[in-house]
């Protein structure tokens, strides 16, 4: 019997709803796998004048004033700024963890060697399950994780790098990134985490980058998360993302529509850093993915970062009563993404100012 006929018969059985014969699928367990759960095999992977001297002195390497470690909620994740990137002493993430400072190059080598390799699954433990998540519960099933870090804010940002005229107030910018249950879009994919960062003045600490993350731990909490995120937006908010115009924003619009809530992001200005980044750095590195830009331009090496492909599984694992460990790592991953967006924006502004000054 030809393979084609066999496949046609299998399709016919599926269309007719009859149970497939045993030889049609030897992996019965796979059939019973709930949607969204990965199988055991994983995938592969303004011009310069507008900037004060105080800012430019350090921001010629824009990240110089930034701490490498951005986490304070204890998630199992660290990020290193490599030598040459202007990392301030003591800002290394390892210091924040209290351990001895690891060799950054070793960290980079480790990263490169493991790229694309299947992530090590969490060990099966028979002891008590750690269900602790960072942040506080602000509504049933909705957690808010908020951290702040010192971060010099320029008085105005020229968007010439994005081929836009004029300047914007940095305090209007809201960097955001979502973690979702899939890629396909449409009604089947939802965001279970929304991370946002903005420059905020803290009376005690001065200018800070405030990172707020909303995480739902029940399906029913999604409307509350959407409503909470909407409250962070003002009419003059400028959304800033990486490919968010094409991915995150449409996805959120769909979720607002399904939740029967007004779309708060459709009328807002949206700055997508993907295209100006690609315009400036295309051909310099292997690609212009955020992770590559982060590593090559900002010299950040993440350690123990949970691959994005593992995010849905981590969330679903927690929903089914599993440990919170990987979900905490998802939160850390999302946290680093929005911090990287802020640093990338400043880097693009300064690079454009330098280019303008040279011409």
Q: Which is nearer to DNA, 65 or 317 (CB)?
A: 317
Looking at the Cβ atoms of 14 and 169, the one nearer to DNA is 14
Write the binding mask 315 to 344 for DNA: x where contact by CB under 7 A, - elsewhere.
----------------------x-------
Task: Please identify, using beta-carbon distances, which residue of 217 and 277 lies nearer to DNA.
Answer: 277
CA distance 236 to 45: 38
φ/ψ of residue 330, rounded to 5: -60, -45
> Per CB under 7 A, does 163 bind DNA?
yes
Which C-beta is closer to DNA: that of 94 or that of 189? 189
**Residue list 198-237, contact with DNA (CB under 7 A):** none
Cα 341 to Cα 18: distance, rounded to the nearest angstrom: 50
Candidates 55, 247, 256, 318; binder of DNA (CB under 7 A) is 247
HSE-CB at 195 with a 13 A cutoff on CA atoms is 24
Q: Which stretch binds DNA (CB under 7 A): 83-91, 115-123, 259-267, 319-327?
A: 115-123
DSSP 57-116: HHHTTGGGGS-S----S--S-EEEEPTTS-PPTT-SHHHHHTSPPPPHHHHHHHHHHHTT
| Contacts with DNA, 281-320, as mask; x by CB under 7 A | -x----xxxxx---------------xxxxxxx-------
**By rule CB under 7 A, what count of residues binds DNA?**
50
Secondary structure (DSSP) of 1-61? --HHHHHHHHHHHHHHTPPPPGGG-S-HHHHTPPTT---SS-----TGGGS-HHHHHHHTT
Report the site for DNA in 171-190 (rule: CB under 7 A): 177, 179-186
In this structure, the dihedral spanned by the alpha carbons of residues 127, 122, 182 and 218, taken in order and rounded to 10 degrees, is: 20
Tell me whether residue 1 or residue 184 sits nearer to DNA (CB atom). Answer: 184
Q: Does the protein bind DNA through residue 45 (CB under 7 A)? A: yes
SS3 261: coil
- Cα separation of 233 and 227, whole Å? 10
Provide the 8-state DSSP code for 139.
E
* Residue 274 is a binding residue for DNA (CB under 7 A): yes
Residues in the site for DNA, rule: CB under 7 A?
33, 36-39, 41-45, 116-118, 162-163, 177, 179-186, 242-243, 245-247, 250, 272, 274-276, 278-279, 282, 287-291, 307-313, 337
């Amino acid at each position: 019997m030809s393979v084609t006929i066999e496949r046609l018969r299998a399709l016919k059985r599926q269309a007719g709803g009859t149970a497939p014969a045993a030889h049609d699928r030897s992996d019965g367990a796979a059939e019973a796998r709930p949607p969204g759960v990965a199988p055991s095999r994983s995938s592969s992977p303004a011009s310069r004048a507008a900037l004060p001297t105080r800012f430019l002195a350090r921001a010629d390497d824009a990240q110089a004033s930034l701490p490498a470690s951005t986490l304070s909620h204890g998630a199992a994740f660290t990020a290193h700024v490599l030598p040459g990137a202007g990392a301030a002493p003591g800002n290394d993430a390892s210091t924040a963890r209290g351990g001895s400072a690891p060799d950054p190059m070793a960290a980079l080598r480790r990263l490169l060697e493991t790229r694309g390799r299947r992530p090590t699954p969490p060990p099966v433990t028979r002891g008590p399950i750690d269900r602790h998540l960072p942040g506080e519960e602000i509504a049933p099933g909705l957690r808010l994780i908020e951290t702040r870090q010192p971060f010099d804010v320029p008085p105005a940002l020229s968007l010439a790098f994005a081929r836009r005229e004029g300047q914007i107030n940095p305090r209007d910018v809201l960097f955001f990134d979502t973690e979702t249950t899939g890629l396909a879009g449409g009604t089947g994919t939802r965001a279970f985490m929304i991370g946002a960062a903005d420059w905020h003045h803290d009376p005690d600490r001065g200018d800070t980058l405030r990172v707020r993350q909303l995480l739902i731990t029940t399906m029913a909490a999604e409307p509350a998360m959407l409503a909470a995120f909407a409250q962070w937006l003002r009419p003059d908010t400028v959304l800033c993302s990486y490919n968010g115009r094409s991915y995150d924003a449409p996805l959120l619009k769909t979720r607002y529509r399904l939740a029967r809530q007004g779309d708060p992001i459709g009328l807002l200005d949206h700055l997508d850093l993907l295209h100006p980044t690609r315009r400036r750095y295309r051909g310099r590195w292997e690609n212009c993915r955020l992770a590559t830009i982060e590593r090559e331009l900002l010299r950040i090496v993440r350690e123990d970062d949970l691959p994005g492909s593992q995010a849905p599984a981590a969330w679903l694992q927690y929903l089914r009563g599993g440990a919170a460990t990987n979900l905490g790592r998802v939160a850390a991953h999302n946290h680093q993404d929005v911090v990287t967006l802020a640093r990338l924006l400043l880097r693009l502004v300064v690079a454009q100012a330098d280019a303008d000054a040279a011409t």
